[in-house]
């Protein structure tokens, strides 16, 4: 940590005032080395090769019903020169395994891989945008443009319609957009890269443009297979307008007892029903066939995300046709 910066303390105080914020009472705390990211707090400043970012908060993430947990290596910050809000993703070392059916996959967090993806998808509105910069210690920090909007699940749950009305009015255009975003993943796979962490909360709906944007590319498995399987989880969320577990299905429709089988389950999450047409008989058969490719009972799988995207686009285009 250092308390000096090429920009003077007076300049920092003045820029903070211009942003309508209260400057620190003493000398600003400026970090050139972000290795100890846990100690970088609100109102501290991160210096990346002369660009100064005022930290406002840690980003948070909530999953599986757990309260939102702070991600201490992901900071929301303001560029003191431009006044623009960014997300600073600081370098972190992490390795863990996930299971897809009987297959175990090693996931490694990689700042370098995310940096490559950012370079590849520059100016593509279907992906978050940003750049990479190294701090004084050589840590690779990603400076991400802040997206104002909601994650896909929150957006779907905000649609004021019961499921059947949602399917006939809202779902076709949503499917068309999701299909386009899935097709965009082929760019990564053709370049030998992957998204690595495809989830419903890693697809944001931009409040200003309405476009869908993939975010968070720093997990790496070294293969496109994990992306393909993960797409199925997003499709389940989109079609079910949330999540549909076996327990929820039987609670809503007790007559399904004995009719739902393990073959109807998601390979990725065995407690979720992938054969959603058994619960929602008004779903088109062709769309349900796409879902079944991600179920325990289906032997035919997808090899490329482009196959999924094409079939979804066809489903969206032909939704209400005889």
The secondary structure of 122-138, three-state, reads CCCCCECCEEEEECCCC
Q: Residue with structure tokens 């820029």?
A: 15
Kindly report the number of other CB atoms within 10 A of residue 215's CB atom. 18
Residues 34 and 156 in one domain: no
pLDDT for residue 107: 87
69-79 and 85-89 beta bridge pairing: antiparallel
Asked if residue 250 belongs to a domain, the reply is: yes
CA distance 59 to 71: 6
Backbone dihedral angles phi then psi of residue 85, each to the nearest 5 degrees? -85, 140
Q: What's the confidence (pLDDT) of residue 65?
A: 42
Residue 237: inside a domain: yes
The reported pLDDT for the residue numbered 320 is: 67
Q: Is residue 5 part of a domain?
A: yes
Residues 46 and 186 in one domain: no
- Domain match, 84 and 155 both: no
- Closest listed residue to residue 244, CA positions, set 227, 225, 262, 265: 265
Residue 102 included in any domain: no
Tell me, what's the pLDDT at 98? 81
The total of structural domains in the chain comes to 2
Residues 6+ apart with CB under 8 A from 125: 209, 211, 213
**What's the distance, Cα to Cα, between the start and end of the chain in Å?**
67
In this structure, the answer to whether residues 303 and 156 fall within a common structural domain is yes
Task: Check whether residue 176 and residue 81 sit in a common domain.
Answer: no
Output the tens digit of pLDDT for each of the chain's 322 residues. Answer: 444 445 789 999 999 999 999 988 889 999 999 999 999 999 999 999 999 999 999 998 755 444 568 899 999 999 999 999 999 999 998 888 887 777 788 889 999 999 999 999 999 999 999 999 999 999 999 999 999 999 999 999 999 999 999 999 999 999 999 999 999 999 999 999 999 999 999 999 999 999 999 999 999 987 788 999 999 999 999 999 999 999 999 999 999 999 999 999 999 999 999 999 999 999 999 999 999 999 999 988 999 999 999 999 999 999 865 4
Q: What is the pLDDT of residue 321?
A: 54
Contact 6, 14 (CB under 8 A): no
pTM: 0.92
Q: In this predicted structure, what is the pLDDT of residue 64?
A: 42
Of 250, 195, 213, give the one whose Cα is nearest residue 87.
213
CB 295 within 8 A of CB 287: no
In eight-state DSSP terms, residue 168 is I
Tell me: do 158 and 305 sit in the same domain.
yes
- Which CATH number characterizes residue 209's domain? 1.10.510.10
How do 219-220 and 149-151 pair as beta strands?
unpaired
- Tell whether 164 and 44 lie within a shared domain: no
Which residue, 73, 90, 107, sits at the end of a domain? 90
- Give the tokens for residue 243: 């999540």
pLDDT of residue 76: 97
One domain for residues 153 and 265: yes
Give the pLDDT confidence score for residue 62 in this predicted structure.
54
Query: Looking at residue 24, what DSSP letter applies?
Result: P
Residue at a domain's end among 90, 121, 141: 90
Distance CA 225, CA 101 (A): 13
Residue 231 located in a structural domain: yes
Alpha carbon distance 214, 185 (integer Å): 9
- C-beta atoms surrounding 264 within 10 Å: 24
Are 205 and 77 members of one domain? no
d(CA 164, CA 283): 9
In this structure, the answer to whether residues 163 and 289 fall within a common structural domain is yes
203-206: strand order across its sheet: 149-151, 203-206, 212-214
Domain stop point among 90, 115, 130: 90
**4: in domain:** yes
Given a contact cutoff of 8 angstroms between Cβ atoms, the answer to whether 241 and 163 are in contact is: yes
Is residue 10 included in any domain, yes or no? yes
Geometric angle at alpha carbon 148, from 87 and 167, rounded to 5°: 130
* Residue 124 within a domain: no
167 and 260 fall within a common domain: yes
Residues 153 and 85 placed together within one structural domain of the fold: no
Structural domain including 252 reads: 149-317
């Amino acid at each position: 940590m250092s308390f000096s910066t090429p920009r003077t303390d007076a300049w920092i105080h003045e820029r903070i005032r211009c942003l309508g914020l209260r400057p620190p009472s003493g000398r600003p705390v400026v970090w050139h080395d972000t290795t100890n990211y846990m100690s970088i707090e609100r109102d501290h400043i991160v210096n990346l090769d002369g660009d100064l970012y005022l930290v406002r908060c840690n980003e948070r993430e909530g999953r599986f019903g757990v309260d939102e947990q702070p991600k201490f290596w992901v900071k929301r910050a303001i560029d003191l020169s431009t006044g623009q809000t960014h997300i600073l993703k600081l370098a972190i070392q992490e390795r863990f395994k996930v299971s897809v059916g009987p297959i175990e996959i090693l996931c490694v967090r990689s700042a370098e891989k995310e940096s490559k993806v950012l370079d590849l998808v520059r100016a593509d509105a279907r992906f978050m945008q940003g750049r990479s910069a190294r701090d004084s210690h050589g840590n690779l920090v990603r400076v991400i443009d802040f997206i104002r909007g909601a994650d896909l699940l929150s957006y779907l749950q905000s649609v004021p319609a019961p499921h059947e009305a949602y399917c006939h009015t809202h779902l076709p255009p949503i499917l068309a957009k999701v299909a386009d975003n899935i097709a965009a993943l082929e760019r990564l796979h053709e370049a030998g890269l992957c998204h690595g962490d495809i989830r419903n909360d890693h697809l944001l709906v931009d409040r200003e443009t309405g476009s869908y944007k993939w975010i968070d590319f720093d997990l790496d498995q070294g293969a496109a297979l994990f992306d393909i399987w993960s797409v199925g989880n997003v499709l389940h969320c989109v079609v079910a307008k949330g999540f549909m577990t076996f327990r929820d299905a039987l609670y809503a429709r007790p007559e399904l007892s004995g009719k739902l089988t393990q073959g109807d389950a998601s390979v990725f999450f065995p407690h979720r029903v992938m054969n959603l047409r058994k619960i929602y008989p008004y779903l088109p058969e062709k769309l349900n066939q796409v879902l079944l490719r991600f179920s325990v009972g289906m032997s035919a799988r997808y090899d490329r995300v482009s196959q999924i995207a094409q079939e979804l686009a066809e489903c969206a285009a032909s939704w209400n046709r005889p």
